[in-house]
Amino acid sequence: MEPEIEKIKSGYSDYFLARLSDREFDKLSGYIMQEYGIKMPPVKKVMLQSRLQKRLKELNMVSFKEYIDYVFSQKGQQEEVIHMMDVVSTNKTDFFREPIHFEILSSHVLPEFYDSRGNNTFRIWSAGCSSGEEPYTIAISLAEFAERNPGFDYSIYATDISTKMLKVAIDAIYKEDKIEIIPMVVKKKYFLRSKNREEKKVRIIPGLRKKVFFERLNLISDRYNTPDTYDVVFCRNVLIYFDREVQQDILSKICTRLKRNGYLFLGHSESITGLDLPLKHLQPTVFKRL
């Protein structure tokens, strides 16, 4: 049987979009849920079809059957799955998103640590860092605190499932409109403007970039081989993509990497209600490890 295709008219050229059948969607969504814990209900079929069109084009494939056969082949498991998850993952983020968290970090968490630190380095994990705006916002907050408090040192570990987003984060180059909300005095200290002013881009300064270590990590892995345990974990607007059972599993593992009396920050729409976790609720989306 010939693959089902839809002819689309665009300007002066014709091209073909493969259609994802219900059976093909079920196979892909089931795999994504099983291996990565990301919910893919039927309402996301059109979204998945649309996002994977680029992969079919780059691989010169004309049907999702051909693509799925490749994904589940030995070569596809080694080479294509990472690319598939890059396009499947949602990566909405901004600098100083949910600013109350950074106010709490600067006014409460950091002074508490500084008063009892000894010679310890303050360590933060940004779990689900996307294109880097969150860990660099954290770095700015910590750098500002370090400027006022001699001897304070810090490191940031940032992880995401998307290699594409991690590359953006490591490069640390952003459009100028991404930092519009940041005060000018902060922009001048921590961002470099591109020499080509037509590009309207900025880059995080080297001193801040070297404080953040990026790595790919799948949050539903059996265990997290993170390099340290952490004083604070940011895991914001990540859990919403998982069902309750997976949320319990992820947060339980995060708690094993969170120091006693360490802090966990979740997204504004996320909750631990009904979950069995060694966490004390301090205020909406802010918790302390017992």
Task: Give the pLDDT score at 5.
Answer: 40
254 and 161 share a domain?
Answer: yes
236 and 271 share a domain?
Answer: yes
The number of beta carbons lying within 10 Å of the beta carbon of residue 256 is 12
Task: Give the pLDDT score at 234.
Answer: 98
pLDDT digit string, tens, across residues 29-78: 999 988 888 888 898 888 899 889 889 989 999 899 999 999 999 999 98
Alpha-carbon span 103 to 101, nearest angstrom: 5
What are the angstrom distances between the C-alpha of 145 and each of 124, 138, 247?
14, 11, 32
pLDDT at residue 11 tops 60 = no
What are the angstrom distances between the C-alpha of 39 and each of 69, 162, 243, 278?
22, 16, 7, 26
Residue 243, domain member (yes or no): yes
Q: Going by DSSP bridges, is the β-strand pair 279-283/5-10 parallel, antiparallel, or unpaired?
A: unpaired
Burial label, 51 (beta-carbon count in 10 A; 0-12, 13-18, 19+): middle
Domain assignment of residue 47, given as a range: 5-88
Contact 231, 157 (CB under 8 A): no
Alpha-carbon span 75 to 83, nearest angstrom: 13
191 and 53 share a domain?
Answer: no
| Residue matched to tokens 């079929």 | 45
Q: Kindly state the tokens that stand for 246.
A: 């997976």
pLDDT at residue 155 tops 90 = yes
* Alpha helices, DSSP H, located in 89-225: 100-104, 110-115, 133-148, 163-171, 184-190, 206-209
- Residue 65 maps to which CATH number? 1.10.155.10
Alpha-carbon span 51 to 124, nearest angstrom: 32
- Residue 188 maps to which CATH number? 3.40.50.150
Report DSSP state, residue 19.
-
**Which has the minimum average pLDDT: 80-89, 257-266, 273-282?**
80-89
265 and 209 share a domain?
Answer: yes
27 and 105 share a domain?
Answer: no
pLDDT averaged over the chain? 89
Q: What is the mean pLDDT of residues 218-240?
A: 92
18 and 115 share a domain?
Answer: no
Q: What is the mean pLDDT of residues 115-144?
A: 94
Q: What is the mean pLDDT of residues 18-34?
A: 91
Residue 204, domain member (yes or no): yes
Query: Looking at this protein, which amino acid is placed at residue 78?
Result: Q
Residue 136, domain member (yes or no): yes
pLDDT digit string, tens, across residues 100-113: 999 999 999 999 99
Active site members: 51, 160
Residues 6+ apart with CB under 8 A from 86: 162, 163, 164, 165
Contact 237, 267 (CB under 8 A): yes
